[in-house]
Chains A and B, each alone.
Chain A
């Protein structure tokens, strides 16, 4: 799949038979064994693999949970509790699935921030980046609908609030909202369709993931220096080098994941979701799951009308705009240098942006009152300024640091510095090891 010339040579008769009819072994060999990866990838690059296993884990636990779940407003809450109490290993599968959603987002946020830091979205990887953004959108839809299924108080009111976004659209808003809900409020039809879609969307995610990986294998991986691969010494084979490194990254990630599943399974959830949905009583503070909080803060920050746009529509537009920014990143960033390692100013703004996103997340969890609102407005302003001002302007005015000539040179420089000045020649090509 990568560069058109395959190094796969079928050894046994069966392999030759397959290769002539459906070269699946060749595809696997070229994509996951011989596929060259830059030798200088750090652990930030293991999150692609981590995301793949999180997706797989979510689909597997989700399918078995669906064997016990009932999507009827009268039974949904109790069926989840039956899973927690009576089904064999049910508590484990349910906690894996609910915390798995959170950790899926943890991984995807690190993956996205890694891309922003190292400029992984720049040509020729724009399409790769956009496919990633689509996966992220699908994940948000899936996560949101999954949260509705246990039919707790937060499920119900979260669904009410989020479907309420659509009522902000002028003229057709109410019509669209009723279409989504299948009624005038969140009720049985809503729960049923959310269950159906929650089951469907992960497979759509898997489909886009295939495209994402395809695009990746066409353009090759980016790397911490941001310099393209120039020679064979710049790369190592995917197997065993990247596979074993990915495996270690996954285990560390799974360790933290397991810590939450077994010791703090409800830490990331909200107590109100252990109370069955009551359409007549709103909880004191409605908060979405933590992974939506920054966007929720942006939504609530717009408390004023902007010309003909009222504050409700303005909030919804800003919230969707905040996600839309990601799609535009490849064209907003004007810098010729990819990696923030060589861009001192961009690096500073990048970390400010990370802090801003976390601050927005925290503000999203706080009541929208007093100084919180003003802080959320300032944070929202910086959020958009980062994309719309900092990214385009910085690329034009910033003086980047000197770039190494190749990945190999960068690696050897670092090695020499770290090891106290070994001669460069002591480092042999990767192929020499058996």
Chain B
């Protein structure tokens, strides 16, 4: 090591900074796998879509499937339920946004926007109260839709929050009719 090197402060500082930076980069890279492992694993993601056969559902009946560990209700609504849903004015809604993962995030919460075009009788919805995650009971409460027994939130026949502490309409997952009798959720 020559004397000139020792007396050149810039070069020494550069070395210290470069070493320190390399150490920080290394530590960051090491931290990643420890965080990465917490994310849903490949087998969990593989089950992230389910196909439901709805051929047996008569108007006025529903079924519940488990999707991503949560209950998803598929309801074939009656004429009256659909009419009740369409009759509601957007101004009466506590949450005016559709909360439909198939539509734009600011779509208004009309009855049509809560369903799929051409399949307006069908409600496909994550049946989890948007308040604190309880499962509301179907066809109960003041609006003929859903009623959450935990803290008294009331939803209408299109799953929109009308009364009670819940802040949002119940979520509609990504889904599509792959045939007249089959729905793929997720």
A and B touch in the complex (CB under 8 A): yes
Where the two chains meet, the residues of A that have a C-beta atom closer than 8 Å to any C-beta of B are 60, 64, 67-68, 82, 85-90, 92-93
B-side contacts of A68, CB under 8 Å: 37, 41
In the complex, the answer to whether B41 meets A90 with C-beta atoms within 8 Å is yes
Distance in angstroms from A212 CB to nearest chain B CB is 25
Residue B3 lies at the interface, judged by CB distance under 8 Å to chain A:
no
Query: For the complex, what is the distance from the CA of A379 to the CA of B36, rounded to whole Å?
Result: 48
Query: For the complex, what is the distance from the CA of A90 to the CA of B41, rounded to whole Å?
Result: 9
**Top 6 nearest A-B pairs by Cβ distance?**
A89-B33, A86-B42, A86-B41, A89-B36, A86-B43, A88-B36
* Chain B window 8-39, contacts with chain A (Cβ cutoff 8 Å), 1 for yes, 0 for no: 00000000000000000000000011101111
Distance in angstroms from B31 CB to nearest chain A CB is 10
Distance in angstroms from A58 CB to nearest chain B CB is 13
B-side contacts of A64, CB under 8 Å: 34, 37-38
Query: For the complex, what is the distance from the CA of A82 to the CA of B41, rounded to whole Å?
Result: 9
CB-based A-B contact count at 8 angstroms: 34
Query: For the complex, what is the distance from the CA of A68 to the CA of B43, rounded to whole Å?
Result: 13
Query: For the complex, what is the distance from the CA of A89 to the CA of B31, rounded to whole Å?
Result: 11
Q: List 27 A-B pairs, Cβ < 8 Å.
A: A60-B34, A64-B34, A64-B38, A67-B37, A67-B38, A68-B37, A68-B41, A85-B42, A86-B41, A86-B42, A86-B43, A87-B37, A87-B41, A87-B42, A88-B33, A88-B36, A88-B41, A88-B42, A89-B33, A89-B36, A89-B37, A90-B37, A90-B41, A92-B33, A93-B33, A93-B34, A93-B37
A-side contacts of B34, CB under 8 Å: 60, 64, 93
In the complex, the answer to whether B43 meets A88 with C-beta atoms within 8 Å is no
Residue of A nearest to B6 (CB): A433
Indicate the member of B36, B37, B39, B44 with the most A CB atoms within 10 Å: B37
- Number of B interface residues at 8 Å Cβ cutoff, please give it: 11
B-side contacts of A93, CB under 8 Å: 33-34, 37
Query: For the complex, what is the distance from the CA of A82 to the CA of B34, rounded to whole Å?
Result: 16
Chain B facing A: main interface SS: helix
Query: For the complex, what is the distance from the CA of A315 to the CA of B42, rounded to whole Å?
Result: 48
A-side contacts of B44, CB under 8 Å: 86
Residue of A nearest to B23 (CB): A247
Residue of A nearest to B42 (CB): A86
A-side contacts of B41, CB under 8 Å: 68, 82, 86-88, 90
A-side contacts of B33, CB under 8 Å: 88-89, 92-93
Distance in angstroms from B113 CB to nearest chain A CB is 36
* Chain B window 66-79, contacts with chain A (Cβ cutoff 8 Å), 1 for yes, 0 for no: 00000000000000
Task: Kindly list 15 other residue pairs between chains A and B, CB separation below 8 angstroms, not including A60-B34, A68-B37.
Answer: A64-B37, A64-B38, A67-B38, A68-B41, A82-B41, A85-B42, A86-B42, A86-B44, A88-B33, A88-B36, A88-B37, A88-B41, A88-B42, A89-B33, A90-B41
A-side contacts of B39, CB under 8 Å: 88
A-side contacts of B32, CB under 8 Å: 89
Query: For the complex, what is the distance from the CA of A218 to the CA of B60, rounded to whole Å?
Result: 81
Query: For the complex, what is the distance from the CA of A67 to the CA of B44, rounded to whole Å?
Result: 15
Query: For the complex, what is the distance from the CA of A22 to the CA of B150, rounded to whole Å?
Result: 47
B-side contacts of A89, CB under 8 Å: 32-33, 36-37
Query: For the complex, what is the distance from the CA of A89 to the CA of B34, rounded to whole Å?
Result: 8
Query: For the complex, what is the distance from the CA of A93 to the CA of B32, rounded to whole Å?
Result: 11
Query: For the complex, what is the distance from the CA of A67 to the CA of B36, rounded to whole Å?
Result: 13
Residue of A nearest to B39 (CB): A88
Query: For the complex, what is the distance from the CA of A210 to the CA of B96, rounded to whole Å?
Result: 60
B-side contacts of A86, CB under 8 Å: 41-44
Query: For the complex, what is the distance from the CA of A86 to the CA of B46, rounded to whole Å?
Result: 10
Query: For the complex, what is the distance from the CA of A82 to the CA of B32, rounded to whole Å?
Result: 19
Query: For the complex, what is the distance from the CA of A82 to the CA of B37, rounded to whole Å?
Result: 12
Residue of B nearest to A82 (CB): B43
Query: For the complex, what is the distance from the CA of A93 to the CA of B37, rounded to whole Å?
Result: 9
Chain B stretch 129-159: residues in CB contact (< 8 A) with chain A: none
Distance in angstroms from A202 CB to nearest chain B CB is 16
B-side contacts of A82, CB under 8 Å: 41, 43
Query: For the complex, what is the distance from the CA of A89 to the CA of B42, rounded to whole Å?
Result: 11
A-side contacts of B42, CB under 8 Å: 85-88
Residue of B nearest to A94 (CB): B37
Distance in angstroms from B166 CB to nearest chain A CB is 32
Residue of A nearest to B43 (CB): A86
Residue of B nearest to A92 (CB): B33
A-side contacts of B38, CB under 8 Å: 64, 67
Residue of B nearest to A247 (CB): B23
Query: For the complex, what is the distance from the CA of A87 to the CA of B40, rounded to whole Å?
Result: 8
Query: For the complex, what is the distance from the CA of A233 to the CA of B110, rounded to whole Å?
Result: 84
B-side contacts of A92, CB under 8 Å: 33
Query: For the complex, what is the distance from the CA of A85 to the CA of B45, rounded to whole Å?
Result: 13
Distance in angstroms from A55 CB to nearest chain B CB is 15
Distance in angstroms from A197 CB to nearest chain B CB is 24
Query: For the complex, what is the distance from the CA of A88 to the CA of B36, rounded to whole Å?
Result: 6
Query: For the complex, what is the distance from the CA of A88 to the CA of B33, rounded to whole Å?
Result: 8
Query: For the complex, what is the distance from the CA of A317 to the CA of B42, rounded to whole Å?
Result: 49
Query: For the complex, what is the distance from the CA of A86 to the CA of B39, rounded to whole Å?
Result: 11
Query: For the complex, what is the distance from the CA of A156 to the CA of B114, rounded to whole Å?
Result: 57
Query: For the complex, what is the distance from the CA of A88 to the CA of B37, rounded to whole Å?
Result: 5
Query: For the complex, what is the distance from the CA of A68 to the CA of B32, rounded to whole Å?
Result: 17
Residue of A nearest to B12 (CB): A434
Distance in angstroms from A82 CB to nearest chain B CB is 7
Distance in angstroms from B25 CB to nearest chain A CB is 14
Query: For the complex, what is the distance from the CA of A117 to the CA of B52, rounded to whole Å?
Result: 72
Distance in angstroms from B43 CB to nearest chain A CB is 4
Query: For the complex, what is the distance from the CA of A90 to the CA of B38, rounded to whole Å?
Result: 10
Distance in angstroms from A66 CB to nearest chain B CB is 11
